[in-house]
Amino acid sequence: MTTIVLVRKNNELVVAGDGQVSMGNTVIKSTAKKVRKIEKRNVIAGFAGSTADALTLFERLESKLEKHAGNLSRAAVELAKDWRTDKYLRRLEALMAIGDKEKSFIISGTGDVLEPEGDVIGIGSGGNYAIAAAKVLMETDLSAEEVAKKAIKVASEICVFTNNNLNVEKI
């Protein structure tokens, strides 16, 4: 459980995530890094779900981006295909919110590659709270980073599986 929010505003892409790792009702770690940047390809990915599964998927995403010369759309589709059909990957429990300068996607283990309408994506247990907050904040003069941070803060005040220890990446 976690909260990841992706915000696209004024030619800036920001992905923010909380740092809480829970096992059942117990907080195991409060400073986990659930948002990663692939510097070479200018892509940011945030993960919700099992940490080990998310790291595996991040590595796969990076290799797909390399294979498809940084084409995020193609890499996302190929990753989702593998995730759905590969016997090992099929068992992974995570969601990914990924974006580059032009596109943003949600990728799931059921083979979904969704390009949501609008400039906000939220995943994880507090994702819907973060989306609601971010959509309201998008109408203000706040930067994309400020919107993302405030959205996670709102989610952390509502969702018990989300904290306010932020990890933010932007391009």
- Catalytic residue annotation: 2
Our CA dihedral for 66, 58, 43, 22, rounded to 10 degrees, sits at 180
Cα(39)–Cα(171) distance, rounded to whole angstroms? Answer: 9
